[in-house]
Chains A and B, each alone.
Chain A
Amino acid sequence: MNGNSGNQTDWKQHGFRCGLEIHHQIHTEKKLFCHCPAGKYSDHYDAEVLRHMRPTLSELGEYDGTALMEFKTKKEIIYRLNRETVCTYEMDDTPPFLINEEAIDIALTIAQAFNCKIVGELHIIRKQYLDGSIPGGFQRTAIVGVDGEFPLSNGKMIHVIQLGLEEDSCREVSDNGHRIVFMADRLSMPLIEVVTECQMETPEEAQEAAMRISRMLRATQMVRRGAGAGRQDVNVSIEGTTRVEIKGVPAISRIAELTDYEAHRQRGLVALSEELQKRGFTPGEKPGRVVELDLNGLRFNNPDLAAAVQVRDSVRVAVFPDAKGILSWPLYGRRFADDISGQVRVVACLDMLPNLLHTDGPSGGLDEADTAMIEKLTDAGAEDVAVVVWGPEEDTVTATNEIIDRYAQAIAGVPNETRQALNNNWNDFERVLPGPDRMYPDTDSPPHEIAPERVEAAKEKVPVAPWVREEMYREQKLPEDIVDLLPITAYAPLHDKLVSEKTVDPMRSGELLARMMTALQRREYPVEALSLDQLEDLLRAMGAGRVYREGLFDLLQHWVDHPQLSLDEMLEHLEWTRVDDTELTAVVKEAIDLAKGEGPRLPENVFAMAMGHAMDIVRGRVASSVVREKMTEMLGL
């Protein structure tokens, strides 16, 4: 269905353009504009607050039509508050406190990691959101840096338009009909936002750029880890369309597929617009009329409509002239009717799917009898198409208005909008795209000067770009998993230093610092407890032949639990002293006896079993190659 099999479209030919907005939570102790703890989540809540979002008057002093309509269909917004993680600031009942300085320092480092120029003065501004995800109705955000860049592997430089510092929104718990529920704990946690120019010319470039940004962020060690800490929005356009934003892309590895789908959808909409114009409709025109059905005595075969008649819902029909083939117009695996359905779901709060049926072919969900009856009741002609919605009176009025608006937009082409990424690479309407006039100064916050010394101090903390280190590590002949992991760990500088001093073999260092430390971390060992100095001691000891790799994992497991011990104390604690030749001979002899006593028939089995017994005793203190040599000699092989 998805049609992604032949991924051979030459997107450069179709003017594919993609830009990225990468958001990532940064690691601060407290939130951005209040003193609540950052990074604490829980599903427990102590209170609920009810709010509504009312559109504000625009610069021209008028309400945006869609926004006011949305308000009239009234979404009840519920915020769940946890005593520990939310105060009156997040609930918009206390003005902001002064901005978190720790967050500014982190943002200054990250901005410079992308070679951005730092603004002289930070101005907090408000970005309006009516979806309820922020109780005030706007997000506080500021630009820290502008005009940066980073390279792709093909050498192309990607322009970073801006680096912003902003507060995070609420976590959505549920969204049913007229009631949306949010958990407020995440609200106001500091985020950075990296915005690139729409410069990526293929889905693959888009994915690589996102990956590079994300890896650079992780390499700073200043961002939060885990699910939900990073979020990606991608802007996609093709020749003849303006940008559509896809929000909430769940993983960077999905960006290529998602942008590919969106570009195909836009091609479908461009073709649809051409078809509509060929039929004589002109942009700006609003074809279509609305009929309310009198349900008395009606019997539908379609179960949804039958149920609607039963519960005396309102049923409304939008009738479009000369529209055969339009509603069922294919959009790369979906149809135009699906685009309309998404908009009805959001704006009219009709969220039980299907939320509309139509008479344009079998994909419309109506059989012949239902189609004939609806056509008769609405005076629809042979070339007309009827779109049916049902539900509460007010919602069906909103829905039919919305259907007519969306249909009219199709004549012009692809509407500017924000769409939500879905699980199957498809996407669905979320909201009309807000323009730059939805930004205005935050009169509650003073401008904040950024001193040059502070900018310099932050620059010191910029890590070597992961893609630079990746090249270096490939030259060191490190395996790809280490090439991938090591550059985004805090240990990369230590590795670089010891390798360049030739103190330690790159492979041994990479294994320890990337593989083992990551493995321990994934098993939730407190690896941060070990300082870089301690790890340096360990690597030097390995370089000097005092500690061998065979025992490293054991050693580290113990050491993270006793980080107050020095390496020597730790080795003593584990009774790891050097093994001289006399001791080794004794150990190997004992091991051979033990193995033979277990009765293996083949000599090579004796060898393997005896090696195991011997290594149990001397692991980490003697290189296995030395033991192997001694074993070979003593077994006379």
Chain B
Amino acid sequence: MNETTFEIKATGSVVEGVTLPDLDPAEDYKGYRGYSRAVLEATGARVWCEVKATTDQGDFVGILLPRSETADDKHLVMKLTYNGYNVGIKSESIQHIEVLGYRKANYKIPEKEFPKDPVKPNVILLGTGGTIASRLDYRTGAVIPAFSPGELYGAVPELADIANMNTKKIFGEFSENIGPMHWKKVAEAVAAEIETGNVNGVVVGHGTDTMHYTAAALTFMVQNLPCPVVVVGSQRSSDRPSSDAAFNLLRAVKTAAEGDFGEVMVCMYGPTSDSYGLLHRGTRVRKMHSSYRSTFRTLSDTPIARVSQDGFVPIKEEDAFIHRDMSRKPVLNTAFEEKVTLLWYYPNMQADIVDAMVDAGYKGIVIAGTGLGHVNRPLFPALRRAVKAGVHIFMTVQTLWGYVQMYVYDTGRDIMEIGVTPLANMLPEVAYVKLGWVLGQTQEPAEVRRMMTTPVNGEITEREPFDGYLVFQGGLPELEDYFKYHQV
């Protein structure tokens, strides 16, 4: 509420025939505070009113919009009626506001029944909060997610050419808020859907920021998959005509419906062009750019396949990925120890960082070390103390590509002697997820080490192919040539 009182000279009026509903200050003054709020209160205008504001700069006719909570208290925002533009009007300049009408925003997407075709495969879309399909509120710019089959059909009608769609919302979280509790729920939902026997594949809609953590968690938590589980999202929301959302969704649904795969994959843009998507193994994929649409990359390995409306083009050899086998039954194991952390080593890191973790009760630490897997000597006593306290410590590389190799230098040998276990070419984030999952099941050091170093699905590979270090994986001519070669 307003603590200061303002002397407002502006007056207000309502044209005849317009009635406003009962005042709901939270909604009707949304985002307005201080002086601006006082102007609204004094003139009787509210958000969503069509008004004529008379100011010392002339008259403005338009709809009064809600204001961003973080914006200042000196302006009113209006969407001008004659041209659709938004402008901010100085609250102090307002002399009179005449309310001409009132129209509240309508945040619903009309549903259209999703057509069912008995000969088409069935795909379930599990929602976690990422917006794949959506419509736009033209007044606020807010994106309103389309999620039910009817809404999806309304937004991306081409889906009906591929599969019969069902949807289930598991929860609605931004990517950065998703953690182990959410991974468990998604894993349970995936297993339950497959067990119904009614689905040919599962699509998980997810925000892109932590999509690769969830893909790794699902790989560990639901094993022995009979069909594809495809995690998908969008880098450009679908309110823009150039969005990647519809293409991603169509490719993911096609993969779930028809793809000859039996593992957890991420399906996102290959190049920044609209030409094809890549299917990345859930344990080898990482978001590598904060905004590019082709942000997901397979590291130290190649993607499994390319996918487009025309079908699949395998990149990996036939025996190098798990194929669809509808007779398999999923095995669910959602154990997770949350007292696990990921430590990104930097030069001159002090021992007290490690001590602090041990004292805080952490049971597992994944280190992302320099080069082949190193930390500096002053850290050794702290690591020794941690191992003695029963903390399980593993080494990965912050180069992201390549293997940990701790025999090459003395430092590495000494670190291993302390009790730090190298994790070959497991990605640091994947190692973090896996360690939580393993420690949820056992705390016995030898068993933890055995489980960590035994791959579930590709998080450690025996060989890195010569082309596992293709940073861009498509979009540049020489890499296109590479993919062309694999297409033959």
Cβ of B242 within 8 Å of any chain A Cβ, yes or no, is yes
The listed residue (A129, A164, A439) touching B138 by CB distance below 8 A is A439
Instruction: Take A57-B136, A95-B291, A119-B89 as given contacts and tell me if A441 and B241 are in contact as well, using a CB distance cutoff of 8 Å.
Output: no
Could you tell me which residues of chain B, from 112 to 146, have a CB within 8 Å of some CB in chain A?
134-142, 146
Chain B residues within an 8 Å CB radius of A437:
84, 138
- B residues contacting A by CB (< 8 A) are 57-58, 60, 65, 68, 70-72, 74-75, 77, 80-90, 93, 108-110, 134-142, 146, 154-155, 236, 238-243, 246, 271-275, 289, 291-293, 476-477
Listed A/B pairs (15) with beta-carbon separation below 8 Å: A57-B155, A61-B109, A88-B291, A92-B242, A93-B272, A93-B293, A121-B89, A122-B88, A436-B81, A436-B84, A438-B138, A439-B138, A442-B141, A443-B142, A447-B77
Q: Is the CB of B242 within 8 A of A161?
A: no
Given contacts A49-B273, A120-B88, A123-B77, contact A54 B243 (CB under 8 A): yes
B93: chain A residues at CB < 8 Å are 120
Give CA–CA (A438, B141) in the complex, Å. Answer: 11
Shortest Cβ gap from A441 to chain B (Å): 3
* Cβ–Cβ < 8 Å partners of A94 in chain B: 291-292
Given A120-B87, A130-B241, A440-B136, 15 new contacts (CB under 8 A): A50-B274, A54-B241, A56-B136, A93-B291, A118-B57, A123-B85, A136-B241, A138-B240, A138-B241, A164-B85, A436-B83, A439-B84, A443-B142, A447-B71, A447-B88
A93 in complex: contacting residue of B108, B154, B292, CB < 8 Å: B292
B108: nearest chain-A partner, CB-CB: A61
Instruction: Let me know if B58 and A146 touch, CB within 8 A.
Output: yes
On whether the beta carbons of A446 and B74 are closer than 8 Å, the reply is no
Q: Give the interface centre of B60, B72, B85, B155 by most chain A CB atoms within 10 Å.
A: B85
Determine the chain B residues whose CB is within 8 A of the CB of A436 once the complex forms. Answer: 81-84
Provide the residues of chain B in CB contact with A195, threshold 8 Å: 83
Q: Cβ of B240 and Cβ of A136 under 8 Å apart?
A: yes
Q: At the interface, yes or no: A59 with Cβ under 8 Å from chain B?
A: yes
Please measure, in the bound complex, the distance between the C-alpha atom of A51 and the C-alpha atom of B293, giving whole angstroms. 12
Contact A440 B58 (CB under 8 A): no
Those 6 A-B pairs whose CB atoms lie nearest each other, nearest first: A121-B88, A137-B241, A436-B84, A439-B84, A120-B90, A441-B141
Q: Judge whether A123 and B88 touch: CB under 8 Å.
A: yes
Most buried by A among B77, B109, B136: B136
B88:A62 contact, CB within 8 angstroms: no
The answer to whether B140 touches A441 (Cβ under 8 A) is yes
User: Chain B: which residue is nearest A148 at the CB level?
Assistant: B58
Contact call B242/A51, Cβ cutoff below 8 A? yes
Cα A475 to Cα B140 with chains together (Å): 55
- Picked from A55, A93, A125, A129, the residue with its CB within 8 Å of the CB of B85 is A125
CB-CB under 8 A from A50, the residues of chain B are: 273-275
- B241: chain A residues at CB < 8 Å are 53-56, 128-130, 136-138
Residue A391 lies at the interface, judged by CB distance under 8 Å to chain B: no
* Cα distance, A289 to B380, chains bound together (Å): 84
- A382 sits at the interface (CB 8 A): no
Does A91 make an interface contact (CB < 8 A)? Answer: yes
Contact with B68, one of A62, A92, A147, A447 (Cβ below 8 angstroms)? A447
Q: A92-109: contact bitstring with B at CB < 8 Å (1 yes, 0 no)?
A: 111100000000000000
Task: Give the shortest distance, in Å, between A182 (CB) and chain B (any CB).
Answer: 13
Contact B272 A49 (CB under 8 A): yes
- B272 contacts A54, C-beta separation under 8 Å: no
Q: Mark A479-515, 1 if CB is under 8 A from B, else 0.
A: 0000000000000000000000000000000000000
Is the CB–CB distance between B110 and A61 below 8 Å?
Answer: yes
Which residues of chain A come closer than 8 Å to B137, judged between CB atoms?
Answer: 59, 440
Least CB distance from A467 to B in Å reads 24
Asked whether, in the complex, the Cβ of A56 is within 8 Å of the Cβ of B240, the reply is yes
Distance (whole angstroms) from the CB of B31 to the closest CB of chain A: 11
Q: B110 to chain A: which residues have CB within 8 Å?
A: 60-62
A117 within 8 Å of B (CB atoms): yes
Q: Does A47 contact B (CB under 8 A)?
A: yes
Q: A51-B242, A120-B88 are known contacts. Are A57 and B273 too (CB-CB below 8 A)?
A: no
* B139 and A440 contacting across the interface, CB-CB below 8 Å: yes
**What is the CA–CA distance of A442 and B293 in the complex, to the nearest angstrom?**
19
* A68 closest partner in B (C-beta): B157
Alpha-carbon separation in the docked complex, A281 to B90 (Å):
53
A60 to B241, CA, bound (A): 17
A60 to B110, CA, bound (A): 8
Query: Which among B68, B90, B134, B246 has the highest number of chain A CB atoms within 10 Å?
Result: B90
A143 contacts the other chain (CB 8 A) = yes
With A91-B272, A93-B292, A449-B74 already in contact, the answer to whether A57 and B85 are too (CB < 8 A) is no
Is A469 on the interface with B (CB-CB < 8 A)? no
| B contact residues around A52 at 8 Å (CB) | 242, 274
Q: Give the one of B146, B240, B275 with max A CB within 10 A.
A: B240
Say yes or no: A53-B242 contact (C-beta < 8 A), given A61-B109, A92-B236, A440-B138: yes
Q: Which of A51, A121, A135 contacts B75 (CB 8 A)?
A: A121
Shortest A248–chain B CB gap in Å is: 21
Closest beta carbon of chain B to A564's beta carbon, Å = 47
* A207 in contact (CB, < 8 A): no
Interfacial chain B residues near A118, Cβ < 8 Å:
57
**With an 8 A cutoff between CB atoms, is A162 at the interface?**
yes
| Contact A54–B246 (Cβ < 8 Å) | yes
Find out whether the CB atom of A59 lies under 8 angstroms from the CB atom of B138: yes
Determine which of A135, A141, A143 lies in contact with B242 in the assembled complex, contact meaning CB atoms within 8 Å: A135
User: How many angstroms between the C-alpha atoms of A51 and B86 in the bound complex?
Assistant: 29
Chain B residues with CB under 8 Å of A446's CB are 68, 70-71
Q: Which residues of B contact A95 (CB under 8 A)?
A: 291
CB distance from A229 to the nearest CB of B (A): 24
Q: Are A161 and B141 in contact (CB under 8 A)?
A: no
Chain B, Cβ-Cβ closest to A443: B141
Tell me the bound Cα distance from A58 to B136 in angstroms.
7
CB neighbours (8 Å) of A147 from chain B are 57-58
- The 8 Å CB contact of B154, one of A49, A57, A119, A138, is A57
Q: How far is the CA of A201 from the CA of B68 in the complex (A)?
A: 43
Q: A61-B110, A137-B240, A447-B75 are in contact. Are A119 and B155 (CB under 8 A)?
A: no
Per the 8 Å Cβ criterion, residues 419-474 of A in contact with B are 435-443, 446-447, 449
